[in-house]
Amino acid sequence: MPIIDVEGLTYIYAKGTPYARKALNQVSLSIDQGEFIGVVGANGSGKSTLVQHFNGLLQPTKGRVTVCGRDTSSKEYRNSLWRKVGMVFQFPEQQLFAETVAQDVAYGLKNLGLSQDEINRRVPFALEQVGLDPTEVADLSPLVLSGGMRRRVALATVLAMQPEILVLDEPTAGLDAVGREVILQIIKDLQQERNTTVIMVSHSLRELIPLVDRLVVLNRGKVAACGTPGEVLGCNPLQNLKGIGLPDYLRLICELKERGVQFENPVTTFQDAEQALEKLIKESVR
Ligand SMILES: Nc1ncnc2c1ncn2[C@@H]1O[C@H](COP(=O)(O)OP(=O)(O)OP(=O)(O)O)[C@@H](O)[C@H]1O
Ligand SMILES: [Mg+2]
């Protein structure tokens, strides 16, 4: 049984008003326990709208979303979904509000009704998970930390709740290259060590390709492609992938394909591209 199942999901903002806007149109997909799914697409393609259905924040205008086998349109279930599905919104550090880092991380745990002992155990553990030293940062105000560290604290507030499913909406937006790498590695480790199901939204195929099991490409509210990075990149002409951060090496490969060059093996990683180009050059000098 898939952990998340989306069937014919259509979502219309401001339905019935002159401002009605169809953000998702007949989206179907299923996600298995422990999978790492990348959701990619241009601005306004419906990425945030889709993932906000996974924690019950939005309910389908049409169609059905089930999480762990239960329909999210049940109000009673929806009210408990936040325990299962951890949601890291874009720029989550803006939601830090407590006086200290430790209080921020503890906040959600209090709402879970955990004992003080359990909270005292989980707070430093979550900070360590995101690569912060609890003895150094726990008593600091989040305001004195760098942007990258605040983002990590925000991630810790969600990880501390030990969600079965982790949804991240553009978790690296606005960070520098080092900050991005740190966050991506934390997320990957979490999925591999705890078998957490991870759904990560990004503008950039570049950062998703090395991480994910499968990609979902959205285009104007529809699924334009879905599959392993190899499948998605192998079957799609460049135009479907424009505007979604195609890495330079793939842009080169796609342009060569458009000019009629054929590649025997699928090209997904940088190494694949290197090998394919080396072969091409050798053949052309023969
Ligand atoms: N609250 C809202 N009210 C009305 N329309 C909305 C609302 N939120 C999003 N939309 C519209 O729905 C469509 C999908 O938006 P969504 O935010 O899901 O896209 P996205 O892929 O996450 O974009 P981005 O990359 O900019 O974050 C867009 O056309 C957007 O303008
Ligand atoms: Mg968005």
pLDDT-based confidence at 239, cuts 50/70/90? low
- Looking at CATH, the fold of the domain delimited by 4-246 is given as Rossmann fold (3.40.50)
Residues 129-136 have a mean pLDDT of 94
Closest protein CA for atom 16 of ligand 1 = 46
| Stronger pLDDT, 242 or 121, i.e. the higher one | 121
Pocket of ligand 1 (CB under 6 A): 13-14, 21, 23, 41, 43-49
Instruction: Show Cβ contacts of residue 86 under 8 Å, excluding neighbours closer than 6 positions.
Output: 158, 159, 161, 163, 165, 166, 167
Please name which of 197, 214, 192 lies closest in space to residue 205, comparing C-alpha atoms: 214
Which atom of ligand 1 is found nearest the CA of 24? 14
The residues of the chain that CATH labels 3.40.50.300 are 4-246
Residue 135 alpha carbon to ligand 2 centre in Å:
35
Q: Which two tokens stand for residue 19?
A: 């401002």
Which atom of ligand 1 is found nearest the CA of 21? 5
pLDDT tens-digit series, residues 143-195: 999 999 999 999 999 999 999 999 999 999 988 888 899 999 999 998 998 89
pLDDT score of 241? 67
Nearest ligand, CA of residue 89? 2
Which atom of ligand 1 is found nearest the CA of 43? 25
pLDDT-based confidence at 284, cuts 50/70/90? confident
Tell me the backbone φ, ψ of residue 225, rounded to 5 degrees. -165, 150
Residue 131 alpha carbon to ligand 2 centre in Å:
27
In this prediction the pTM is: 0.89
